[in-house]
Amino acid sequence: MTDTVSRHFEVGFILFPGFPLLELSAVLKTFKIANLLSGNSFKTSYYAAAPSIESDSGLVVQTADSVSESLDACVLIAGNHQLPESQTLLPEYKVLAGIEGGTRILASQNLLDGYHVSLSGSPFDNCRDFPNIKISQKNCEADRDRITCHGTLSATNLALEILASLHSTELAQTVAEQLQLSVSSRFQRSHEKQIIQRKQPQIEEAIELMEANIEEPLGADELASLVGISRRQLERLFRKHLDTVPSKHYLKLRLEQARKLLQETVTPVVEVGIACGFSNASHFSTAYKNHFGKTPREERS
């Protein structure tokens, strides 16, 4: 791919204790591919209140304590539990982004007022806690110079949005193709994605809700209600346009995410199953083998 943008871009990550490592890894993998395709257009750096910081998985990352004011994009990453208070005053960056609890920190500093925002948790509670933001049902939301997301699957989409904002949509699309994404992204150019975007926004919205709720899957009636149609109508749309039903597509997304985690991380098999919405190891193993022809443990061998 020919790089049409000559300058380089600096992307900084502000990390908070217990930050979600899988989300950071997904973003960094996306930037790594972008650098291979664009001649190393992106430089990444890490910041925290201490010289080193520990992730939710126990990995320690070395950081700088002073956030650079020359960043083109700044991404805040924090866990949703035991949300830390942030006193960091952020300069006016071209792009400001939040992942999981990082979004709540931005919102608490009134940096997302007037923006559409992707937040995990109860929409009612979020509207009460942050009355000046517009809660989005998308798992990744890009609104002007603010990009927010929640969930491991959405972190890649957040990185793609940053690539498109700083560099070009063409680069984001090419990176998405290289990643062979198993989830919905506006940068995918597949036939299925084109059908969803052009003809059936309700299917697109349903899939985004599925992707945003992998660990705690939504029930069929709840999913249909959030989309604004009946369960039967939603099932009819999926059969007509995707030749499947919502429950099967949901299971496929969860299993594909499980496979990604098994192949790309050292997370224990049982924890992978839980992270992908399976209440017990036996159900996870059976579903995985039925879909991929091998058990989760055989995937690792």
pLDDT of residue 281: 93
CATH of the domain at 103: 3.40.50.880
pLDDT of residue 111: 92
Task: Judge whether residue 171 has pLDDT over 50.
Answer: yes
d(CA 259, CA 168): 30
Considering the domain architecture, whether residues 33 and 152 belong to the same structural domain is answered as yes
Widest CA span of the chain, in angstroms? 55
Considering the domain architecture, whether residues 265 and 223 belong to the same structural domain is answered as yes
pLDDT of residue 233: 94
CATH of the domain at 231: 1.10.10.60
Length of the chain: 301
Residue 125 pLDDT level (bands cut at 50, 70, 90): confident
Query: Does 185 reside within a domain?
Result: no
> Cα–Cα distances in Å, from 112 out to 19, 25, 137?
20, 25, 16
104 neighbors 119 (Cβ within 8 angstroms):
yes
Considering the domain architecture, whether residues 161 and 233 belong to the same structural domain is answered as no
Of 179, 207, 242, the residue that ends a domain is: 179
User: What does pLDDT average to over the chain?
Assistant: 86
Domain that holds residue 270: 191-300
Least confident of 116-125, 208-217, 235-244, 272-281: 116-125
The CA-CA-CA angle for residues 207, 211, 216, to 5°, reads 120
Residue 2 pLDDT level (bands cut at 50, 70, 90): very low
pLDDT of residue 4: 45
**Mean pLDDT, rounded, for 17-22:** 92
Q: What is the DSSP letter of 64?
A: B
Q: What percent of the chain has pLDDT over 90?
A: 54
Where residue 154 falls (left for φ over 0; alpha for ψ -120 to 50; beta otherwise) is alpha
Query: How many Cβ atoms from other residues are within 10 Å of residue 114's Cβ?
Result: 12
d(CA 213, CA 208): 9
pLDDT digits (tens, 9 = 90+) for 184-233: 667 765 555 555 555 577 888 888 888 888 888 999 999 999 999 999 99
Instruction: Read off the amino acid at residue 143.
Output: D
Residue 183 pLDDT level (bands cut at 50, 70, 90): low
Q: Structure pTM?
A: 0.64
Of 115, 150, 179, the residue that ends a domain is: 179
Considering the domain architecture, whether residues 138 and 273 belong to the same structural domain is answered as no
102 neighbors 24 (Cβ within 8 angstroms):
no
Task: Judge whether residue 182 has pLDDT over 90.
Answer: no
d(CA 223, CA 230): 9
pLDDT of residue 81: 63
Of 129, 148, 179, the residue that ends a domain is: 179
pLDDT digits (tens, 9 = 90+) for 39-97: 999 999 999 988 999 999 899 999 997 888 889 999 999 987 655 555 566 777 889 99
Q: Which residue has the tokens 């939301």?
A: 141
Query: How many Cβ atoms from other residues are within 10 Å of residue 261's Cβ?
Result: 21
Sheet holding 140-143, edge to edge: 42-47, 9-15, 73-78, 95-100, 146-149, 140-143
Residue 264 pLDDT level (bands cut at 50, 70, 90): confident
Considering the domain architecture, whether residues 132 and 211 belong to the same structural domain is answered as no
